[in-house]
Amino acid sequence: MKKRILGNGLEVSELGLGCMGLSFGYGPATDKEDAIKLIRSAYEQGVTFFDTAEAYGAINEQLLGEALEPFRREVVIATKFGFKNGDSSQGQDSRPERIRAVAEKSLKHLKTDVIDLFYQHRVDTNVPMEDVAGTVKDLINEGKVKHFGMSEAGVDSIKKAHAEQAVTALQSEYSLWWREPENEILPTLEELGIGFVPFSPLGKGFLTGKINETTTFDKTDFRNIVPRFSEENRKANQVLITVLETLANQKQASPAQIALAWILAQKSWITPIPGTTKLHRLTENIGASTIDLSATDLAEINTAFNNIKVQGDRYPKHLQDRVGK
């Protein structure tokens, strides 16, 4: 798989693997052995960029630590700090002492002596950004962290952090059905030389074409509270899939592959991290790296999607209030 450079020199595979869904957010946790098999299969197929977080539960970091231990030096592991007691339902906590505590715990869970990319999971408005970035800077100087990242941060916070410690990457939601970062975030990242790591590049599964208004989710699946995933909105948004399927058929590809190839075509410093629990979906996603979309293809996609109004907010209000700070 081709490589890309994020920010100030972090080399990663052009597609990464988001590991949240292996144990958090999308229903019951994946069997441990199956999860390890999936992570190692990703590596064998060229993926070198793996994403986790304290907030996904200790098991998530531990899975990566065990799965990637045989080839730790060949991969990049990203994890995150920023929630009280590591629990996203308790709100933000990016106090310096908390950042340090999370770093020590993550190093242990990941079975490593250094965290390649350490993100602030959400901006904590109660802690000056200079203190957050300064603490990570100290961890970098101590050799415990290599690169600093932010997640779902706003332009002002990004600039403040970057002035204290170079931000290597911003991780935020971005896909064909959530393009808001194009307004202010992407121009800012380009100006500052910061990489972009889109999560949910497949629209939390919707852009695969495998979800419709009759789909039922596990009772613990957080999509049950996402407005965009109400039965009515899923039905209305099927028009997006029709557009993707048309182009996918022309390219002998899947809608998911077209959606990922579209992101890869936007900027050379963007590396999406689709997640999955299924080996065949992993292989399908990785196949997107072999698809070249022409300028005509991209124009066709943009024209079609610009004429479609996506129905439903991407987050319920209590989660939307945490982003863009």
Residue 261 above 90 pLDDT? Answer: yes
Which residue ranges make up each domain of the chain? 3-201+266-291
CATH number of 3-201+266-291: 3.20.20.100
Distance from C-alpha of 286 to C-alpha of 45, rounded to nearest angstrom:
8
Residue 25 above 90 pLDDT? Answer: no
Structure tokens at 212: 């419709």
* 89 and 49 Cβ atoms separated by less than 8 Å: no
Residue 136 above 90 pLDDT? Answer: yes
Q: What's the whole-number average pLDDT of the chain?
A: 96
**Helix axes of 295-306 and 255-264: crossing angle, nearest 10 degrees:** 110
Residue 26 above 90 pLDDT? Answer: no
3-state secondary structure of 264: helix
Active-site residue numbers? 56
Q: What is the pLDDT of residues 291-306, one digit of tens each?
A: 999 999 999 999 998 8
Distance from C-alpha of 135 to C-alpha of 84, rounded to nearest angstrom:
17
pLDDT bucket at 278, cuts 50 / 70 / 90: very high
Q: What are phi and psi of 266, to 5 degrees?
A: -75, -50
Residue 27: per-residue pLDDT = 83
**Helix axes of 255-264 and 279-286: crossing angle, nearest 10 degrees:** 40
Distance from C-alpha of 53 to C-alpha of 72, rounded to nearest angstrom:
17
Question: If you average pLDDT over residues 18-29, what whole number do you get?
Answer: 91
pLDDT bucket at 183, cuts 50 / 70 / 90: very high
Residue 28 above 90 pLDDT? Answer: no
Residue 9: per-residue pLDDT = 96
* 210 and 186 Cβ atoms separated by less than 8 Å: no
Residue 318: per-residue pLDDT = 87
Residue 323 above 90 pLDDT? Answer: yes
Question: If you average pLDDT over residues 127-134, what whole number do you get?
Answer: 98
Q: What is the pLDDT of residues 92-107, one digit of tens each?
A: 999 999 999 999 999 9
Q: What is the pLDDT of residues 158-177, one digit of tens each?
A: 999 999 999 999 999 999 99
Q: Among candidates 50, 47, 46, 55, which has minimal Cα distance to 66?
A: 50
